[in-house]
Amino acid sequence: MSEAQTSLIGALLTMLGPVSLALYTPAMPALTEAFGTTDAAIKMSLSLFFGGFAFAMLISGPLSDALGRRRAVIIFMAIYLIGALACALAPSVEYLLIGRLIQGIGASVGLTVGRAIVRDQFVGETAARIMNMIGIMLAVGPAIAPTIGGLILLVSGWYAIFFAMVAFGAVLLALVLLLMVETTVPDPKKAEPKALVDAYRTILADQRFLASSMVIAASVGTLYALSSILPFVLIKVAGLTPTQYGIGMLMQTGLYFSGSVVFRIVLRWFSSKSLVLAGLVFIGCGATAMAISTEVLPISYLSVMLPVGLFAFGIAFVLPYMTNAALLPFPDIAGSASAMMGFMQMGSGLLTGALAAALGSPVLALKIVVPVMGALAILSYLWLMFAERHVPDGVGGVPRGDDAEEPFRSAVEAAD
């Protein structure tokens, strides 16, 4: 495929899961009323989507190696469309929950194959440019999805949001059928249980991978968990309409995007590793501000979203080096490492969202989740620093410490 085709398909595939997660969050209070159920039951639909997405990623990644990227995408996109249609036509909350689980399983192929097709075809400047576009879409897509969902609710009912997902999935599947060609040589042996177990055992035995992935899981997982908390806090407690909520989520988008732009500028003078510290400072400030504001201030849009915005700004500084640090030790099994990293990221959102639902009060969940996850991100980075000091330089051909970030820095500078 050409660079433009790969960028388009890779970005849309990568967006599929996060957008499907965030698009219907403005409708969650309306779903509670429509089905005559509890907030906890509707929040569980997010947890089931998380669960299906996270666990199926560990399967869809190896299957794309075994069956081929194109065939795996077609199979899992069909599963996604079945789940989305089931949600749109759901007569009860039980059918909605089943549909969301099926949707999550189908969407899992997007994150794994969306990155794999870039690795299959491109290196150097071209690969960096494509991955940069995919990264931006992965950040911006889920952030503007609540706005789109709110606008859909303004003119139609909750079911229209799921029909929008059906339309998005159908367009993506059509693009795959028309434009996507096979980018790897299928190898059924890569899906054998022993090969999978050996690869994941190697990955999970590496402290550098675990610590780096935990930083990502704690920071990005917080944003996923907030997607199940913020609708109830801002709509039911702060009094925003679903449309206002959707538009208001642009603060999170804008600050993350601003952080990404600032990061790319200052990377010319500072190492990506040193910028992680700046990002963690913003994450810590956002977490602390959330703990204080929810305790001493009335719940309002600004008292909630300003801390969330600080947190999101910091994430933009943390992700580049942490992603590189997690994958760098595994040049031969980078696909499996990427799948495990994504699993930990989504699993963090799943567990945190389930905890929020169990707490009952969305304000209490907000007060606990953001500070705790911010602290976990900082502690995980300290663990990474400890692990890097105790790994001999050049183990497995992998550099240690600041040297490990040079490939990333070079790629970014080349893309610019």
Domain ends where: 163, 182, 201?
Answer: 182
DSSP code, position 335: H
Together in a domain, 15 and 144: yes
Which pLDDT does position 53 carry in this prediction? 87
pLDDT at 395 over 60: no
Taking only the tens place, the pLDDT of each residue in 316-327 is 888 877 877 776
Together in a domain, 284 and 358: yes
Together in a domain, 57 and 201: no
Does residue 146 lie within any of the structural domains? yes
Give residue 128's pLDDT band: very low, low, confident or very high (50, 70, 90). low
pLDDT higher at 90 or 229:
90
Residues with Cβ < 8 Å from 389, sequence gap 6 or more?
A: none
Q: What is the mean predicted confidence (pLDDT) over 261-270?
A: 78
pLDDT at 189 over 50: yes
pLDDT higher at 406 or 344:
344
Q: What is the mean predicted confidence (pLDDT) over 20-27?
A: 82
Give residue 393's pLDDT band: very low, low, confident or very high (50, 70, 90). very low
Q: What is the mean predicted confidence (pLDDT) over 76-85?
A: 96
Which pLDDT does position 168 carry in this prediction? 94
pLDDT at 97 over 50: yes
pLDDT at 416 over 70: no
Residue entry with tokens 């907000």 = 366
Work out the mean pLDDT of the chain and round it to a whole number.
Answer: 80
Which pLDDT does position 169 carry in this prediction? 94
Q: What is the mean predicted confidence (pLDDT) over 52-68?
A: 84
One-character DSSP codes across 126-165:
HHHHHHHHHHHHHHHHHHHHHHHHHHHHHHS-THHHHHHH
Together in a domain, 172 and 207: no
Together in a domain, 169 and 285: no
Which pLDDT does position 89 carry in this prediction? 92
| Range in 15-29, 55-69, 114-128, 167-181 with the lowest mean pLDDT | 114-128
Q: Where are the alpha helices (DSSP H) in 68-123?
A: 69-88, 93-121
Which pLDDT does position 127 carry in this prediction? 59
CATH number where 90 lies: 1.20.1250.20
Which pLDDT does position 174 carry in this prediction? 94
pLDDT higher at 295 or 118:
295
pLDDT at 10 over 60: yes
Does residue 187 lie within any of the structural domains? no
Together in a domain, 121 and 240: no
* Report field, pTM of the whole predicted structure over 0.85: no
Give residue 162's pLDDT band: very low, low, confident or very high (50, 70, 90). very high
Together in a domain, 211 and 165: no
Give residue 98's pLDDT band: very low, low, confident or very high (50, 70, 90). very high
Q: What is the mean predicted confidence (pLDDT) over 228-234?
A: 79
pLDDT at 403 over 50: no
pLDDT at 237 over 80: no
Residue entry with tokens 């022993």 = 194
pLDDT at 200 over 50: yes
Which pLDDT does position 342 carry in this prediction? 81
Domain ends where: 131, 147, 182?
Answer: 182
170-175: long-range contacts (C-beta < 8 A, 24 or more apart)?
Answer: 170/81, 172/12, 172/13, 172/16, 172/77, 173/74, 173/77, 173/78, 173/81, 175/8, 175/9, 175/12
Give residue 413's pLDDT band: very low, low, confident or very high (50, 70, 90). very low
Together in a domain, 67 and 136: yes
Does residue 327 lie within any of the structural domains? yes
Query: Counting Cβ atoms within 10 Å, is residue 185 exposed (0-12), middle (13-18) or buried (19+)?
Result: exposed
Does residue 30 lie within any of the structural domains? yes
| Range in 138-142, 330-334, 371-375 with the lowest mean pLDDT | 330-334
pLDDT higher at 405 or 31:
31
Residue entry with tokens 């055992």 = 201
Together in a domain, 238 and 149: no
340-373: string of b/e by CB count within 10 Å (b at 16+)?
bbbbbbbbbbbbbbbebbebeebbebbbbbbbbb
Domain coverage including residue 12: 1-182
Q: Which two tokens stand for residue 324?
A: 């590189």
Total of domains in the chain: 2
The residue among 239, 43, 31, 216 whose CA lies nearest residue 135 is 216
Which pLDDT does position 131 carry in this prediction? 64
- Residue 228's alpha-carbon distances to 22, 128, 220, 277, 317, in angstroms, are 9, 33, 14, 28, 24
Cα–Cα distance, 94 to 261 (Å, whole number): 43
Domain ends where: 182, 213, 242?
Answer: 182
Taking only the tens place, the pLDDT of each residue in 268-314 is 787 777 888 889 999 999 889 888 888 888 878 888 888 888 898 89
pLDDT higher at 411 or 27:
27
Share of the chain above pLDDT 90, in %: 14
Which pLDDT does position 331 carry in this prediction? 62
Does residue 314 lie within any of the structural domains? yes
